[in-house]
Structure 1
C-alpha cells in the first residue's frame, strides 16, 4: 500500500499517547466509573461522566457552568431538576437501539434515580446560555446510515447541532458493524475557519458487543507536535481528541462497536464543521 493511502501509525514513545487514551476505571472515583472534565483533558469545554446505579440507586449532581445530557447506556431512570421531572425509558444496552434522554441546564441541581438500576452517561459542555430543562424522545432522534461496504455505520444524531438545541454541546452515537471502519475518512476540527471548519474538543467513549471484543482508534497529527495515538479500545475505554486527524475507528470482526462522541468548543456558533484528510478522501465522498 502506498504512503498516500495509508494511515500513519502511532509512535509508542510519544507521551501524548498516554494522555489521550483513557482506559476503563482509570478515572473512576466514588461517584463515577468514568470522569473526564476539562481539567483532566487539558482543554476548556467538553466533559463526560458515566455513573452506575444499583437497583433503587440515586445520584445527585450540580451542573455548575456546564450544560448536561443524561443518556442511558443501559436501564431507565427518572431525572429531577428544578420543577421538572422526566421519566426516561432507556434501553437494555447501547446495541438495542436509540434511547430517550434528558437535558439539564447550567446552574442547576439534578437527581438521577433508577428503580431497576443501570448505567448512565452524562455528556457535558461549558456554556453561557441558560436553556430550559427538556426531554428528548427516542422517536425524534434522527438516525443516519453513513458510508457503504466495509465503512458503513449507523449514526444516531440525538444531540447534533441541527437535531436538538444546546448552547455548546454536540453529541452523537455511532454503531459500527464488526469488521468495519468508521470515522472514515480521517477528519479534523481543530481550527476556526468560518464556513469550513469549527474548533471542537472531542471525547470518544467505547462499548464493544460480546465478550473479549475490542477495537482500535487512531488519532494522528494535523501539525507538528500534535496529538498522536493508536489505542486498542474495549468497553469502558475513552479516547480524547483535542486536535488532529481522527479515524479510523475499527471494529473487531464479529463484534459490533459503539461509541459516544461528545464535542464542544469556544466558537460563538454551535456548529460541527469538519475537514477531511485530503489524502484519504478519493472514492469515499
Structure 2
C-alpha cells in the first residue's frame, strides 16, 4: 500500500483514501469498519468481494485510457481485492452513517463531461457523484487535464459560506504522464488562512480541509490526472462556489472552443459539455 489517508491521519472527520499496489495474482483484504468505500482501478483489472457480493472490474491500462467501472462497498464489510494481472487500485472512503447495498457501476454508467474551454478545458469522469451512485456521504470523480491547461479554475470551495455550516473535506490524488510535474494552489480567507502552492508528481496527495483551491496546473507536455474524494457532515452535495475575485473568467469561455485533445477516451466521442461545473 502506498498512500494511506484516514480521517485520523488527516486531522479531520470523514474523507479517506488508500492506494493499493498488487502484484500478479495479488490479494488485499480489509475490514471497512465505519467507512463506505469506492474501489477505483487506476491500472489493471480486479475482482472485488465483500460479504458474499462480487464485482469483476475490467479496469483499464492507464488513468489516461478512459473511464473505468468501479465498485461501491458498504461500511461494516470484509473487502477482498484479487487481481490476476496485478495493478494499482484506489480505495476512496468516507465515514458513513448508513449501510447501503454493494454496487457495481459499469463503465457505461460513468458520466463523462468536458468542462471549461480553451486553456481551461478538462475532462471529468463522474462515477461516484450524487447523480450516478447512491451513497451515504462520499463524492468522488476524476479529472484529466491536457498538458498546458488549468483545472479547478476559477478557484472554488465546497461550503455554504455561512458560519458553522458544512465543509467538504477533499483529497486530491495525482498521476502525471511521462513522469512530469504539475502544480496545485490552495488558499483560504482572512478568517481561515491557508496558502499553499505545491509541485505534485505521480502518487502525491494534497489534503484540502477548507478554503479556495485552484488552479490545478498541468505543465506543457505533461497531461495531468487527479482523483477527487470528498465527504462532509451535511447533505451529499457539491456545495461549490467560485472565488468572487475570479468568477468573471467563466464568462470568457463562451467564445472559446473546448480543447481538441479531449476527450482522452476514443470510446466516448461526444461527452456532455458543461461550462458551469468545475
> Would you call these one fold, judging by a TM-score over 0.5?
yes
Matched-pair contact (CA < 8 Å) for 1:204–1:262: yes
Equivalent position of 1:200 in the other structure: 168
1: distance between equivalents of 2:168 and 2:7? 13
| Structure 1 equivalent of residue 256 of structure 2 | none
Matches within 5 A, 1:168-247: 168-191=137-160, 199-211=167-179, 213-247=180-214
> In 2, Cα distance between the equivalents of 1:193 and 1:274?
13
Deviation of residue 191 (structure 1)?
4.3
What residue in structure 2 maps to residue 5 of structure 1? none
Partner of residue 8, structure 1: none
CA contact (8 A) 1:128 1:167 kept: yes
Give TM-score scaled by structure 1 length: 0.85
Q: Which runs of at least 4 in structure 1 moved beyond 3 Å after TM superposition?
A: 190-194
* Alignment partner, residue 90 of structure 2: 121
The partner residue of 1:270 within 233, 236, 240 is: 236
Aligned-pair Cα RMSD in Å: 1.4
Deviation for aligned residue 1:40: 1.1
Contact 1:125–1:169 (Cα < 8 Å) also in 2: yes
1:3-48 Cα offsets, whole Å, 9 max, x none, are xxxxxxxxxxxxxxxxxxxxxxxxxxxxx20000111111000000
* Higher mean C-alpha deviation, range 153-162 or range 220-229: 220-229
Q: 1:250 aligns with which of 217, 221, 225?
A: 217
Q: Distance in 1 between matches of 2:210 and 2:96?
A: 20
Aligned residues: 250
After TM superposition, the score normalised by the length of structure 2 is 0.87
Query: CA shift at 1:190, angstroms?
Result: 3.8
- How far did 1:275 drift? 1.2
3-state SS of paired residue (1:282): helix
Aligned to 2:267: none
Say whether the 8 Å CA contact 2:159–2:239 is kept in structure 1: no
Q: Which runs of 5+ in 2 are unaligned?
A: 252-278
Q: Residues 161 and 226 from structure 1, CA distance in 2 versus in 1: closer, same or farther, beyond 3 angstroms?
A: farther
Corresponding position: 1:282 with 2:248: yes
Q: How far, CA to CA, are the matches of 1:199 and 1:238 in structure 2?
A: 19
Identify the residue that residue 95 of structure 1 maps to in structure 2: 64
**Kept after mapping to 2: 8 A contact 1:226/1:243:** no
